[in-house]
Amino acid sequence: MPYGAHESVTVDSTAGGVALTAATIIPFNRAVLTLEDAAIRYTVDGTAPTTTVGHLAQPGDVITLAGNDELTRFRAIRQGGVSGTIMASYGTGGS
């Protein structure tokens, strides 16, 4: 997958979850996310994650998103009392 952009996203306790930056992901259909420093919960269907709803990811985990729907519907919230950081790389690729 050729990469075309990247960003750092802070995952805090924002109600409804933190999304990827819309202006950054527009031309892309793939993403690789690495969780840097604190546990999070995330969803890829637009459901609001909570501390008990969503997939649990720990520091060092890699999350792969495929398709524009997953990129735009991704939401994350911190799992505990510490905000996490996601490093995201975006690109294009086949289905």
Mean local confidence (pLDDT), 22-31 = 94
pLDDT at 95: 53
pLDDT at 1: 65
Mean local confidence (pLDDT), 73-92 = 96
Q: Is the pLDDT of residue 50 over 60?
A: yes
Taking the C-alpha atoms of residue 56 and residue 40, their distance in angstroms, rounded to an integer, is 6
- Token pair 């819309």: residue: 22
Q: What is the pTM of this model?
A: 0.92
Instruction: Give residues with Cβ within 8 angstroms of 5, minimum separation 6.
Output: 24, 25, 28, 89, 90
